[in-house]
Structure 1
């Protein structure tokens, strides 16, 4: 069971998730403020709409480009100096980015701020779910790591509501600068909380800091019925033995792709984020203001609809995280994919038919199916993909594996968003047909490819990838479903391939 201290640490780390969400959403939401569009001369109704379209695409897309490189850099750094100190550096980089983007006097300066903000966002998107997975008990890991998805979208929601409020500020420059400047609050809070954060016990053991790791495990997993620190002892022993088994393997980058089991893990992580981005969710969100304007919503109305849309998504991310440990990752991803694909398949023709018309019923139906899309996507794919991606890798390759996973997210987000700015200006909603087709294919691939990881320890997940003979785990001497709670005696059993077995 997750104790109070563990819950506090999980919430503190998720401030970084909120930071990522708000910084991602801030630039998209200011595109709905005329003061921002006029200040940088990027209005689609201005004198040069093609330039405006490309700049709007760059404002959204360059964030993802920064995130691609940030995910690799901060994953490497978290292995070198620890999850906690890497998170400190992310916070500092994020504050610098906020200063640049908020003080921007021309579009070039703003774009530099955005790419640095994306660089920090890549680190947050790697470190936060990785940190949360490494300090969670197996039976609650879905709910705990699900905080990343929830707080990420909560940050998006706050950015949208603040942009709506800023719309009514009379000072045009203050409108968008306030929205951008408030990005600094979350990283400053995160830097302040670092004095109460522990280091990941798995990273500590990996770096031969055994006693510190044990003290951390005691604080994270002790409860009133475990006065002898039984769970902490067990988990430390489990991590130790798993690392001993892992040390027998080629742990280089080349080894991660040449060894069949680790290659399968890497491909699964890549597929998860390709699947997530190929639903078109970032395109549907990033350019939603423009789509809603084509459906007849004017002035502050598109901002209001988007704010409710993202708030609904945040709530559903929370629900998804709460039920994930019961329903399972595989089930939720597949149902989320089927439902979101069907919703986009209906939303798209409605936008094509009723976009630019006076038919309020048709426009309302298009908006309704947009909400149906997020109703399936948020709990089924959004929150689940981060949990899945953070837990499928063993300790020695978790940072590197997750960096590839998150880099895939940023790569396809940047690709789809940058292309969509031109596509939306030329073929409009017909571009969504690409996402419908890709999602339909991914449904079939996912059905045969996705394993179920619920309830397994991070070490035991290796059995799903053909490593049953290379997994250290606990085997209770007592019998029955309640034996773990009743029996204080647990035996460590190593299942390792030795030379005699191979013969």
Structure 2
């Protein structure tokens, strides 16, 4: 069999997206939302009455429901953290393979659960696998993509997450019509396993990160892979130039030690870590999973709609995320990262503010319609700037020798705040009602301000150029100014038509 399934250049990049990134992130999105659509099914409530908030409105049941649903995110924290320790040791492909294996084990255990304890353990295992995978795939993908297409390639992750979320809720809707049987929730919990199996089958048929290989001293293999990725000869000027950039960056940063991640100085490693952590935290602190995880419950219990209507609206609401994610894919390399994040956070802020006002009015049909529109609008704005983009951004601002570690730590914060949001949402709705949305409106406004003043633009920059931007920055406010003023280097890259630009 030809190396990398016989693909080269642009076709090889497309193959990595379709064969690994698509199933991995669709599986991630599916697992984010699938449990939320099952929480009101009679057969699920009968099997796990401790999570019943439909017939039992006690604070204890709300807390138990929030904790069990959020255990997936606790596992995600552990999985992402593990990549800090083993990401550079094992390489990108091995970590993705092992993480996908844990996702499959978790799905099988969860779908076969008859005890509350087994369900909890399965949820945790699945989260560990998902956390390891989602912390590693963006690093791997950004390191094999050229700078001119890196944004569109990596941000497709957001499109696939949206697809997975929508698929989970439509599947939940379909199986809700047989909700007297446990089949109605067991099949939705296992149906994503083939996606993870697909990743395990193909990950070793695709190239390892050339940057990781160079860091490990496998120079010849790295050159061969770069030649195949750029569809040129391994000894061409294009490959030589890219290898020189990587090696120069590695030499500039210096030898790794255990405190590098938290050092500042001229290299500003901690500054770059903080930007990665902030971006990935914002992807959760905007409040998205107070809606995604509990979409069906919001429509059914908060807005007073029927069970079937609630599930239809939940599935349709998350489907609209695909529109926002597709818009991000088409515009990110033209508009840049900052404009997308600023537009997204502003839209989410306005949506949450209006949502708070409309849900404060009881039994008002007009207010109900506006509330539903705002829920849909929020889900369209969110993926435009904070779904796949933050995974990309944390890898772009990171220095090459710390990229896996910074991505791992940043992903830990994604999962940490995911847990916080999912854990507190049932209690938040129960105790402060519509005022809960005001909190998210205020946080989204703070995100707009933070991105504007602190986040440098990374669009069109090679991963090595970002080193120079941070080394010219003297404080946290400098990097956006330096990025605007520093001209982009003229790197030779081969386009799809084979012409150098």
TM-score normalized by structure 2? 0.89
Q: Is the 8 A contact 1:338 1:443 kept in 2?
A: yes
Residues 1:259 and 1:231: Cα distance change in structure 2 (over 3 Å): same
- CA distance in 2 between counterparts of 1:106 and 1:149 reads 34
Aligned pair partner of 2:95 in 83, 86, 99: 86
Residues 1:475 and 1:48: Cα distance change in structure 2 (over 3 Å): closer
CA distances 1:310-359 after superposition (whole Å, capped 9, x unpaired): 111023212202210100101111111111101110012212213xx2x3
SS at match of 1:241: helix
Partner of 1:159: 168
Q: Is the 8 A contact 2:32 2:293 kept in 1?
A: no
Partner of 2:31: 23
Q: Is the 8 A contact 1:2 1:136 kept in 2?
A: no
CA distances 1:118-166 after superposition (whole Å, capped 9, x unpaired): 1111112211111111111101111000121111221111111111111
The alignment status of 1:231 with 2:235, answered yes or no, reads no
The alignment status of 1:436 with 2:445, answered yes or no, reads no
- CA distance in 2 between counterparts of 1:10 and 1:18 reads 12
CA distances 1:85-112 after superposition (whole Å, capped 9, x unpaired): 1111111111111121111112221111
- CA distance in 1 between counterparts of 2:380 and 2:57 reads 37
Q: Is the 8 A contact 2:461 2:488 kept in 1?
A: no
The alignment status of 1:398 with 2:406, answered yes or no, reads no
- CA distance in 2 between counterparts of 1:47 and 1:374 reads 29
Cα offset, 1:486, TM superposition: 5.9
CA distances 1:211-251 after superposition (whole Å, capped 9, x unpaired): 1111111111116xx79644223212221222122225xx3
The alignment status of 1:36 with 2:41, answered yes or no, reads no
Matches within 5 A, 1:5-404: 5-14=12-21, 15-41=23-49, 42-47=51-56, 49-169=58-178, 172-222=181-231, 229-248=236-255, 251-260=256-265, 261-293=268-300, 294-354=302-362, 357=363, 359-404=364-409
Q: Is the 8 A contact 2:84 2:409 kept in 1?
A: no
- CA distance in 2 between counterparts of 1:8 and 1:429 reads 46
Residues 1:265 and 1:477: Cα distance change in structure 2 (over 3 Å): closer
- CA distance in 1 between counterparts of 2:28 and 2:491 reads 45
Partner of 1:499: none
Cα offset, 1:76, TM superposition: 2.5
Residues 1:475 and 1:336: Cα distance change in structure 2 (over 3 Å): closer
CA distances 1:65-90 after superposition (whole Å, capped 9, x unpaired): 11111101034322111100111111
Q: Is the 8 A contact 1:321 1:383 kept in 2?
A: no
CA distances 1:238-290 after superposition (whole Å, capped 9, x unpaired): 21222122225xx3342222224111101111211232222111112222222
Unpaired runs of 5+ residues, structure 2, are 1-7, 475-486, 493-497
Cα offset, 1:167, TM superposition: 1.0
SS at match of 2:387: helix
SS at match of 1:353: coil
Residues 1:172 and 1:475: Cα distance change in structure 2 (over 3 Å): closer
- CA distance in 1 between counterparts of 2:290 and 2:253 reads 40
Matches within 5 A, 1:351-500: 351-354=359-362, 357=363, 359-467=364-472
Q: Is the 8 A contact 1:64 1:118 kept in 2?
A: yes
Unpaired runs of 5+ residues, structure 1, are 479-483, 488-503
Partner of 1:493: none
- CA distance in 1 between counterparts of 2:155 and 2:98 reads 23
Mean CA deviation greater in 446-455 or 372-381: 372-381
Cα offset, 1:380, TM superposition: 2.1
- CA distance in 2 between counterparts of 1:415 and 1:178 reads 28
SS at match of 1:30: coil
Residues 1:45 and 1:19: Cα distance change in structure 2 (over 3 Å): closer
Residues 1:367 and 1:486: Cα distance change in structure 2 (over 3 Å): closer
Cα offset, 1:467, TM superposition: 4.9
Q: Is the 8 A contact 1:76 1:399 kept in 2?
A: no
Residues 1:477 and 1:76: Cα distance change in structure 2 (over 3 Å): closer
Partner of 1:497: none
Q: Is the 8 A contact 1:222 1:232 kept in 2?
A: no
SS at match of 2:360: helix
- CA distance in 1 between counterparts of 2:386 and 2:203 reads 30
Residues 1:201 and 1:56: Cα distance change in structure 2 (over 3 Å): same
Residues 1:310 and 1:39: Cα distance change in structure 2 (over 3 Å): same
- CA distance in 2 between counterparts of 1:147 and 1:341 reads 24
SS at match of 2:125: helix
Structure 1 outlier segments of 4+, above 4 Å: 473-478, 484-487
Residues 1:202 and 1:227: Cα distance change in structure 2 (over 3 Å): closer
SS at match of 1:96: helix
